[in-house]
Amino acid sequence: MLESLQALIAVLAALAVVTLLAPRLRLPQPLALALAGVGLAFLPSVRALSPSPDLILLGFLPPLLYADAWQTSWRDFRRWLRPILMLAVGLVALTILVVGVVAHWFLPELPWAACFLLGAIVSPTDTVAAQAVLEKLRVPRRMTAILGGESLVNDATGLVGVQIAVVVVLQGAFSWGSVLGQFAWVAGVGVVLGLVFGGLFAWLNRFVREPNVAFTVSLLAPYLAFAVATVLGVSGVLAVVVAGAVGAWRIHVIPTATRMALRASWSQVTFLLNGLCFLYIGLASPCLLQRAVQGGAHLWQAGLAVSVATIATRILWCWPNAYVPLWLSPKLRAREGGYPSPQGVTLVSWCGVRGAVSLAAALALPMFVDSDGNPFPGRDAIVACTLAVILTTLFVQGGTLFPLVRWLGLRDDGTTAAEMRAARERLLQAGIARLDAFCSEHSCPVAVHRLRESMADELASLQADDAAERARASQRLSVSREVRTAVAAAQETALLRLRDAGSIDDEAYNKLLVELDHALVDAERA
């Protein structure tokens, strides 16, 4: 009992410390967490507490996919659908083929079905590492949209490939007709389930106003969609992604306070689960490396060859597919805003880090193919090669993203900022118009007039052509913001004194503190 508690403390402490230190050490957070996991693996109590592959796939993956779907810009997803599908479907298929051929070349004793299974396992990218770097360095939105969309879809296509390949290995037979039929069933029914559960929970969210209950219901959605899909033998990943997309599209029906609480809760959940996934990679690595060493030099050579093939396939796929379709179709070129920059293509081609999903999929393979105890063909070799690909991409690609982005000179193109500026103008105009209409019908207090003046100042700061006028409006806004912040801080201090003096109990203190926190956040955002 005590050892388990010590292990839990060590894992949580490592997650907190690494998250704080990684930016200062100029290391991508996932890489730093994986290194910390390697260190924790030498503690027997932590090693014993490490999660099982089933927990990663069934416990961690559904909420992470659901959260990613919530955060995806579906307008950008539709705009960049072609490059996203080329990466998430075309590249996945090519990776399965190339890795399968290379694996069979170096491991001829491995059946072809098992070789292609290895290709399916290492085909999904884990762009958490890439996204951490891209968000920090603010690269063009085109790149982040494509990489985010790819990571959302290729988990589904890759794991569907794994599911089909496992069936082929267990049955010992292959036919294109059965494979295509299986794919249509697995993917199609998965999408339908996602639409059903997404619509159901979006409808339920209209009536749930208690934040804690709303979060529980939203957390139930990905697990239920995944569970039903798994029972039916279809893609749980697609079911969760589609359910999350529907939920994101209908998020406006959730009451405001509940919506704010949901965003905060999901932010914490995704932070913890992402961190634990990369710690898991580090925890599992020493034991798996030891087993790989026992497999002999040829297994290491195969792992290295598969890693090189995985990286090279992505690079060779990205360049022609970034330019040739646009060169052939002027209409497509206009739709996507012209040719992508060579720097952007270089970045996308290098963001191919594999992560915990691939490792969990490999470790989750059955030990035996039947009840007679016949071993699953090449399971140890598949696990060893998967680990080689993960570690190679994590250190080689993930470890060089910071300097690569700087060397390429990529910068935020300002698209999001411009859209937010234009949207703010429309929102302020709508708000001022509503205040004017209200005041024309009612006697408005001074506070309402001051609110209108503040909104008018903000609108002027956005619209004014004259730099001096913009500066004056911005100064008035700054003073207003400082005053509101100072008032909220003074009220918080007074509240603390009331609690310390025993004038109010802790329940009243906490409720009022929440109100002041919201006021302070509003003041800082104004």
What local confidence, expressed as pLDDT, does residue 223 receive? 94
Distance CA 235, CA 160 (A): 6
Can you give the pLDDT at residue 489?
77
pLDDT at 402 (0 to 100): 81
What does the pLDDT read at residue 291?
A: 72
Residue 117: what residue type?
L
Torsion of CA 135, 136, 139, 141, to 10 degrees: 20
Instruction: Report d(CA 229, CA 239) in Å as an integer.
Output: 7
- Please name the residues in contact with 280: beta carbons below 8 A apart, sequence gap of 6 or more: 37, 50, 51, 56, 356, 359, 360
Q: Cα–Cα distance between 508 and 510 in angstroms, integer?
A: 6
Q: Is 367 helix (H, G, I), strand (E, B) or coil?
A: coil
Q: Read out DSSP for 370-411?
A: STT-PBPTTHHHHHHHHHHHHHHIIIIIGGGHHHHHHHHT--
| 256 Cβ contact partners less than 8 Å away, ≥ 6 residues apart | none
Q: What is the pLDDT of residue 86?
A: 93
What is the token pair recorded at 108?
A: 């001829």
- Beta bridge partners of residue 375, listed in sequence order: 368
Integer Cα distance of 35 and 56 in angstroms = 19
**pLDDT tens, position by position, for the chain (526 residues)?**
677 788 888 888 999 999 888 878 877 788 888 889 888 888 877 766 666 777 777 888 899 888 888 877 777 888 888 999 999 999 999 999 999 999 999 999 898 989 999 999 999 987 566 566 566 667 787 888 888 888 888 888 888 888 888 877 777 666 666 667 777 888 889 999 999 998 888 888 777 778 888 888 889 999 999 999 989 988 888 899 899 888 877 776 777 677 778 888 888 888 898 888 888 888 888 877 777 777 666 788 899 999 999 999 999 999 999 999 999 998 888 888 888 889 989 999 998 888 878 888 888 888 877 667 778 888 889 998 999 999 999 889 888 888 888 888 877 766 766 777 777 777 777 777 887 787 777 777 766 667 777 777 777 767 765 566 656 666 666 666 677 777 777 877 887 888 888 888 777 777 777 777 776 666 555 5
Sign of torsion over alpha carbons 425, 431, 435, 438: positive
pTM summary value: 0.81
Cβ atoms within 10 A of the Cβ of 356, count?
Answer: 28
Distance between CA atoms of residues 390 and 454, nearest Å: 53
Long-range contacts of 430-434 (CB under 8 A, 24+ apart): 431/455, 432/456, 432/459
Would you call 38 helix, strand, or coil by DSSP?
Answer: helix
Cα–Cα distance between 381 and 34 in angstroms, integer?
22
Max Cα-Cα span within the chain: 86
CA distances (Å), origin 396, targets 18, 133, 222, 353, 482: 20, 14, 33, 9, 46
Sorted by where each begins, the domain ranges of the chain are 2-58+72-189+259-413, 481-526
Q: Are 406 and 139 in contact (CB under 8 A)?
A: no
Q: Give the per-residue pLDDT at 414.
A: 67
* Predicted local distance difference test score (pLDDT) of residue 87: 93
CB 158 within 8 A of CB 120: yes
Q: What's the confidence (pLDDT) of residue 304?
A: 93
List the CATH code of the domain at 2-58+72-189+259-413. 1.20.1530.20
DSSP 86: I
Quote the tokens at residue 16. Answer: 């907190």
Residue 94 is predicted with a pLDDT of 95
